[in-house]
Amino acid sequence: MLESISPTGSWREERLLSTEITQQDLDFDSTHIWHPYTATVNRPPMYPVIGGEGVRLTLSDGRALIDGMSSWWCTVHGYNHPRLNAALKTQVDQFSHVMFGGLTHKPGITLARQLVAMTPEPLNTVFFADSGSVAVEVAIKMAMQYWQARKQPRKRKMLTVRGGYFGDTSGAMSVCDPENGMHHWFSGILPQHHFVHRPGCRFGESCEDQHLYEARTFLADHHQTIAAVIIEPVVQGAGGMYFYSPDYLVKLRALCDQYGVLLIHDEIATGFGRTGQLFALEHANVIPDIMCVGKALTGGYMTLAATLCSEHVSTTISEQGPFMHGPTFMANPLACAVATASLDILQEGHWRSQVQMIEQMLTEGLMPCASMPTVADVRVLGAIGVVEMKKAVDMQQIQPEFVKRGIWVRPFGKLVYVMPPYIISPDDLNTLCSGIRDVVCRQNV
Ligand X SMILES: *Cc1c(COP(=O)(O)O)cnc(C)c1O
Question: Would you please indicate which residues are annotated as catalytic (active-site) residues?
Answer: 37, 165, 266, 295
At CA 351, angle to CA 346 and CA 354, rounded to 5?
Answer: 160
**Beta carbon nearer to ligand X, 136 or 149:** 136
Q: Of the candidates 115, 114, 125, which has an alpha carbon nearest to the alpha carbon of residue 309?
A: 125
Decide: 16 and 26 in contact? Cβ < 8 Å.
no
CB of 230 to ligand X, least distance (A): 10
Contacts for 28 with CB less than 8 Å, ≥ 6 apart: none
CB of 142 to ligand X, least distance (A): 16
**Beta carbon nearer to ligand X, 165 or 218:** 165
CB of 384 to ligand X, least distance (A): 12
Decide: 441 and 368 in contact? Cβ < 8 Å.
yes
Total of chain residues touching ligand X, rule CB under 6 A: 15
CB of 292 to ligand X, least distance (A): 7
24, 26, 30, 33 alpha-carbon torsion, rounded to 10°: 100
CB of 125 to ligand X, least distance (A): 20
DSSP assignment letter at 302: S
Measured in degrees and rounded to the nearest 5, phi and psi for residue 387 equal -110, 110
**Beta carbon nearer to ligand X, 78 or 271:** 271
Residue type, 31: T
Q: In angstroms, rounded to a whole number, what is the distance separating the alpha carbons of residues 139 and 291?
A: 7
Decide: 296 and 274 in contact? Cβ < 8 Å.
yes
Q: In angstroms, rounded to a whole number, what is the distance separating the alpha carbons of residues 163 and 237?
A: 9
**Beta carbon nearer to ligand X, 138 or 238:** 238
**Which of left, alpha, beta for 39 (phi over 0: left; psi -120 to 50: alpha)?**
beta
**Beta carbon nearer to ligand X, 239 or 435:** 239
**Beta carbon nearer to ligand X, 164 or 435:** 164
Helix, strand, coil abundance in the chain, percent, nearest 5 = 40, 15, 40
List binders of ligand X among 223-242 (CB under 6 A): 232, 237-238
Decide: 362 and 429 in contact? Cβ < 8 Å.
yes
Q: Of the candidates 53, 76, 109, 57, which has an alpha carbon nearest to the alpha carbon of residue 342?
A: 76
List binders of ligand X among 140-199 (CB under 6 A): 165-167
Binding window for ligand X (CB under 6 A); candidates: 261-269, 276-284, 319-327, 329-337: 261-269
Task: Tell me which of 158, 268, 308, 418 binds ligand X, using CB under 6 A.
Answer: 268
Residue 288 interacts with ligand X (CB under 6 A): yes or no:
no
At CA 203, angle to CA 205 and CA 359, rounded to 5?
Answer: 130
CB of 294 to ligand X, least distance (A): 5
**Beta carbon nearer to ligand X, 143 or 441:** 143
CB of 181 to ligand X, least distance (A): 12
Task: Tell me which of 196, 269, 308, 343 binds ligand X, using CB under 6 A.
Answer: 269
Binding window for ligand X (CB under 6 A); candidates: 99-107, 241-249, 264-272, 314-322: 264-272
List binders of ligand X among 109-138 (CB under 6 A): 131-133, 136
List binders of ligand X among 290-319 (CB under 6 A): 294-295
The binding site for ligand X (CB under 6 A) comprises 131-133, 136, 165-167, 232, 237-238, 266, 268-269, 294-295
